């Protein structure tokens, strides 16, 4: 390990996700293991600009591995988007003696870190934290597995009502630009149809599928809809369209919303966060910078931040094929 970095900061930025606290814990305790001081930055990049810092040690992160959200809080910062704002942040870091930082967040947070690093030659490392799983360079982002389990549990409960009342439920899940949550939970919960941004099913095909299900004897149906699906302007528009064309269906809508972003992280997310935090700190101490820590084929690997930001996560085509077969 290189011994030139004596103080590393950690912050969370963008939307919260289960596993962020576990990652904070890992960064702090890895720093302690290597006798490197760790500073927690509250409220993301805005806190960096305002100097909202706190010294953290191994005991500072007791009993947080099981908690959702982020103890460091998160906030979006318009000021950090400007060069003047980033210069203020840099001066704050230097005045505190901070020599590198780990940012836990999504592509917007990584873009900020990348620009900051390029402008000031400042070592940075990213850990992907977003339930959407829409970041290039990693098969899993922190919070994604927890969100999947939350959604499947919710759909299982909704199905009880659907069966009891012979209803069709449209269940909207998060995923403005990527359908990973919808696809995986749709397969896992046995949905009759899955609507995602990457595949335009089309209104006519949706109607044909639902009518086929009804004629085959299905008295209730679940359709999982990613919020970024392109078929209708909204899930409520879909409801109205189906009601207008298939009057035999009693249609309801459930929007799961931010319930998907909260809750205790699963064991998988806790272990992943622990592994990513160790890798982030070790990489900085090894002199590396401008990378994102990712998880691919059960290995923790580094991806350049510019590739993580510019690249596009791909939907699982094999799982799409499985979903087509399962919805027959």
Q: How far apart are CA 275 and CA 322, in angstroms?
A: 31
Tell which residue, 265, 254, 64, 65, has the closest CA to residue 149: 265
- Taking each helix axis from N to C end, the angle separating 144-165 and 267-285, rounded to the nearest 10 degrees, works out to 160
3-state helix, strand, coil in the chain (%, to 5): 45, 20, 35
Between CA 146 and CA 69 the distance in angstroms is 12
The widest CA-to-CA distance across the chain, in whole angstroms, is 71
288 DSSP 8-state letter: -
Contact at 8 Å (CB) between 176 and 230?
no
Active site includes 306?
Answer: no
Of 105, 242, 79, residue with least CA distance to 168: 242
What's phi and psi for 123, nearest 5 deg? -70, 130
The active-site residue, picked from 132, 134, 145, 229, is: 132
CA distances from 168 to 68, 191, 260 (A): 32, 11, 22
**213-228 burial, b for 16+ CB within 10 Å, e for fewer?**
bbeeeeebbbbbbbbb
Nearest in space to 102 (alpha carbons), one of 162, 13, 177: 13
Residue with token string 């319930």: 259
Active site residues: 132
């Amino acid at each position: 390990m290189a011994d030139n970095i004596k103080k590393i900061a950690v912050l969370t930025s963008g939307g919260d996700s289960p596993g962020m606290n576990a990652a904070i814990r890992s960064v702090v305790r890895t720093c302690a293991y290597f006798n490197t001081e760790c500073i927690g930055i509250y409220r993301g990049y805005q806190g960096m600009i305002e100097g909202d810092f706190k010294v953290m040690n191994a005991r500072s992160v007791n009993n947080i591995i099981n908690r959702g959200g982020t103890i460091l809080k998160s906030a979006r910062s318009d000021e950090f988007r400007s060069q003047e704002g980033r210069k203020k942040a840099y001066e704050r870091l230097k005045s505190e003696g901070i020599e590198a930082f780990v940012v836990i967040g999504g592509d917007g947070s990584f873009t900020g870190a990348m620009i900051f690093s390029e402008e000031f030659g400042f070592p940075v490392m990213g850990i992907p934290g977003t339930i959407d799983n829409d970041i290039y360079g990693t098969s899993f982002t922190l919070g994604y597995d927890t969100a999947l389990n939350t959604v499947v549990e919710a759909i299982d409960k909704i199905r009880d009502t659907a069966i009891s009342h012979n209803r069709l439920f449209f269940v909207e899940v998060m995923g403005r630009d990527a359908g990973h949550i919808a696809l995986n939970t749709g397969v896992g919960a046995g949905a009759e149809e899955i609507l995602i941004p990457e595949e335009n099913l089309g209104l006519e095909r949706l109607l044909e599928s639902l009518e086929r299900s009804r004629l085959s004897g299905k008295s209730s149906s679940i359709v999982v809809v990613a919020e970024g699906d392109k078929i209708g302007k909204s899930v409520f528009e879909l409801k109205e369209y189906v009601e207008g064309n298939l009057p035999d269906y009693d249609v309801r809508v459930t929007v799961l919303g931010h319930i998907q972003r909260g809750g205790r992280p699963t064991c998988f997310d806790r272990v992943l966060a622990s592994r990513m935090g160790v890798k982030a700190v070790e990489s900085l101490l090894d002199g590396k910078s401008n990378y994102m820590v990712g998880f691919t084929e059960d290995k923790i690997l580094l991806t350049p931040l510019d590739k993580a930001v510019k690249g596009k996560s791909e939907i699982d085509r094999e799982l799409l094929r499985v979903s087509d077969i399962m919805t027959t």
